[in-house]
């Protein structure tokens, strides 16, 4: 099966994203027009050819005793408690939540007085990645695209590793800044896009990577040029390549979430989005190493989160940050780790204004992160606490399990990427001074 999907990025057709002085992105029709011109075509940068699926028996998959549970839970406090008991909450509906849990966690959830309405073994819904979803970029292909971009746009970009994973893979950052290269400091306002903290959220890697492709292929369009020439932009498409590769290594999805640390007791993986030093391992995290929401033995125990920590702390110019996750179609902002709203009302106004604008471009629902459930140790709380960065989590497509869950198929890539390019461009448009939104 040959599958070539691509985004043609016709520079000459691009019109300005926002008119000069325009404050309200939701009325920016020219912006929508711009994105409507992201056409599908054969382009110089083709997606890789699909590889033959390598399907083999995998004993570690057979040893995976997780089930997909539906559990009655009426509010965020019950949901937070379920996270602590080891339920990896993926979906929330009125009165119930759904997610993964190991057998030991299932017992604890029952013992904790929760009603389990449904339970399906993980073996009943495996899917294949390499053939049906060949349009997705695995780690090797992602690195190849990043190298192609860096080679094709040497004046604007540099590509470097911000650290290595547990298994020794590089965590790559593509920098878009013609004035300063590599790790040289910059006084320009900084924007960071990162993805794939969670292994099975492969669509996030596509969004971050293809935004980089789009921005560089449109680098001479005035709207793109304005940001390239004034901002310090970094794109980190995969924070957890070990987990992402593990998830697809057998040709069947393994629904893997964490990294690939070997834990005390022999289980694998720490939840990287619970491992940041922001109220670390308080509410909404599990201390059980085999749980999908395991916070790790201590904050920043993992090389992947340490790489992000060191990257952010070394760059005091960063103003905005977007970390892509799937799924549920939500736009989330701090606090994640507290049920209380942000104390600083000016900052809260900026967060709310940005979230509402992001929603206008994506159709996702904006809300404070902890309105879902309280979950400590995530990227956005930490970035905001440390550096007052306006940091957002997107939970992208689909809206629910019925739309494919973590594996919505290659057919959604184009629309999700297109919608999210709009949101990403909006973030760039406020990165020079996010506080202008509160004035």
Which positions lie near Zn ion, rule CB under 5 A?
198, 201, 325
Taking the complex as a whole, the smallest distance from the CB of residue 17 to Zn ion amounts, in Å, to 28
Cα–Cα distance, 152 to 249 (Å, whole number): 30
**Pick from 37, 41, 36, 47: nearest CA to 7:** 41
Smallest gap from Cβ 367 to Zn ion, in A, equals: 16
Length of the chain: 439
Give the other-Cβ count within 10 Å of 225's Cβ: 16
> Do 242 and 303 touch, CB atoms closer than 8 A?
no
Q: Which residues contact 158 (CB under 8 A, 6 or more apart)?
A: 150, 174, 175, 177, 181, 182
Coil/strand/helix, residue 83: helix
| Phi, psi for residue 65 in degrees, rounded to 5 | -100, 25
- Which of residues 71 and 330 has its CB atom nearest to Zn ion in the complex? 330
Facing residues of 392 across strands?
A: 322
Q: How far is the CB of 104 from Zn ion (least distance, A)?
A: 22
**Do 294 and 263 form a contact (C-beta atoms < 8 A)?**
yes
Beta strand 157-164 with 116-121: parallel, antiparallel or unpaired?
Answer: unpaired
Least separation in angstroms between residue 289's CB and Zn ion is 19
Let me know if 144 is a catalytic residue. Answer: no
Q: Tell the smallest beta-carbon distance from residue 50 to Zn ion (Å).
A: 26
DSSP 33-55: HHHHT-EE---SSPPPPPPPP--
Nearer to Zn ion, 201 or 206 (CB): 201
Question: Are 287 and 108 within 8 A, CB to CB?
Answer: no
Would you state the structure tokens that stand for residue 83, as one six-digit string?
A: 């996270």
Catalytic residue among 108, 217, 329, 395: 395
Our CB check for Zn ion shows the closer of 175 and 198 to be 198
Shortest Cβ 336–Zn ion spacing (Å): 12
Bridge partners, 97 (sequence order): 71, 92
Cβ 303 to Zn ion, closest distance in Å? Answer: 19
Which residue lies nearer to Zn ion by CB, 260 or 325?
Answer: 325
8 Å CB contact between 279 and 381: yes
Report the C-alpha gap between 396 and 74 in whole angstroms.
24
Tokens of 331: 């736009």
CB of 379 to Zn ion, least distance (A): 10
Q: Between residues 98 and 153, which has the closer beta carbon with respect to Zn ion?
A: 98
- The nearer residue to Zn ion, 177 or 259, going by C-beta atoms, is 259
**CA diameter of the chain:** 63
Closest CB 223 distance from Zn ion, rounded Å: 30
Of residues 274 and 325, the one with the C-beta less far from Zn ion: 325
CB 300 within 8 A of CB 276: yes
Our separate counts of H helices and E strands in the chain read: 12, 14
Phi, psi of 246 (to 5 degrees): -60, -40
CA-to-CA distance for 172 and 235, rounded, in angstroms? 8
Beta sheet of 67-72, edge-to-edge order: 88-93, 96-101, 67-72, 116-121
Q: Which is nearer to Zn ion, 218 or 393 (CB)?
A: 393
Angstrom distance (rounded) from CA 120 to CA 68:
5
Buried b (16+ CB within 10 A) or exposed e, 162-194: bbebbeebbbbbbbbbeeebeeeebebbbbbbb
Nearer to Zn ion, 66 or 325 (CB): 325
| Residues labelled catalytic | 395
């Amino acid at each position: 099966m040959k599958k070539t999907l691509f985004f043609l990025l016709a520079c000459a057709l691009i019109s300005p994203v926002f008119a000069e002085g325009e404050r309200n992105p939701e009325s920016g029709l020219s912006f929508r027009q711009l994105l409507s011109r992201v056409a599908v075509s054969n382009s110089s940068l083709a997606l890789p050819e699909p590889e033959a699926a390598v399907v083999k028996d995998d004993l570690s998959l057979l040893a995976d005793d997780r089930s997909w549970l539906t559990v009655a839970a009426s509010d965020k406090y019950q949901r937070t408690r379920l996270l602590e008991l080891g339920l990896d909450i993926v979906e929330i509906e009125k009165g119930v939540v759904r997610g993964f849990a190991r057998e030991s966690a299932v017992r604890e959830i029952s013992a904790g007085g929760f009603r389990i309405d449904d339970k399906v073994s993980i073996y009943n819904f495996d899917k294949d990645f390499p053939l049906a979803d060949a349009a997705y970029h695995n780690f090797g292909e992602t690195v190849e695209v990043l190298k192609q971009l860096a080679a094709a746009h040497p004046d604007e970009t540099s590509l470097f590793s911000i650290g290595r994973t547990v298994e020794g893979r590089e965590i790559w950052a593509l920098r878009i800044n013609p004035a300063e290269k590599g790790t040289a400091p910059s006084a320009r306002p900084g924007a960071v896009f990162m993805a794939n903290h969670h292994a099975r959220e492969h669509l996030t890697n596509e969004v971050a990577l293809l935004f980089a492709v789009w921005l560089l292929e449109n680098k001479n369009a005035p709207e793109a040029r304005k940001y390239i020439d004034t901002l310090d932009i970094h794109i980190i498409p995969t924070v957890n390549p070990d987990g992402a590769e593990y998830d697809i290594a057998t040709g069947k999805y393994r629904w893997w979430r964490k990294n690939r640390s070997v834990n005390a007791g022999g289980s694998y993986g720490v939840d990287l989005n619970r491992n940041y030093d922001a109220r670390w391992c308080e509410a909404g995290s599990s201390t059980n190493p085999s749980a999908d929401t395991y916070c790790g033995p201590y904050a920043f125990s993992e090389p992947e989160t340490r790489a992000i920590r060191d990257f952010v702390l070394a760059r005091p110019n960063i103003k905005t940050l977007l970390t892509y996750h799937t799924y549920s179609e939500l736009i989330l902002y701090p606090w994640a780790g507290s049920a209380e709203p942000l104390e600083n009302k000016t900052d809260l106004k900026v967060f709310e204004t940005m979230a509402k604008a992001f929603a206008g471009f994506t159709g996702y629902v904006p809300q404070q992160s902890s309105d879902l459930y309280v979950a400590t140790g995530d990227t956005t709380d930490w970035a905001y606490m440390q550096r007052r960065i306006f940091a957002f989590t997107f939970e992208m497509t689909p809206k629910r399990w019925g739309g494919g869950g973590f594996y919505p198929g290659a057919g959604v890539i184009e629309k999700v990427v297109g919608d999210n390019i709009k949101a990403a461009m909006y973030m760039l448009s406020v990165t020079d001074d996010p506080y202008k939104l509160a004035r």
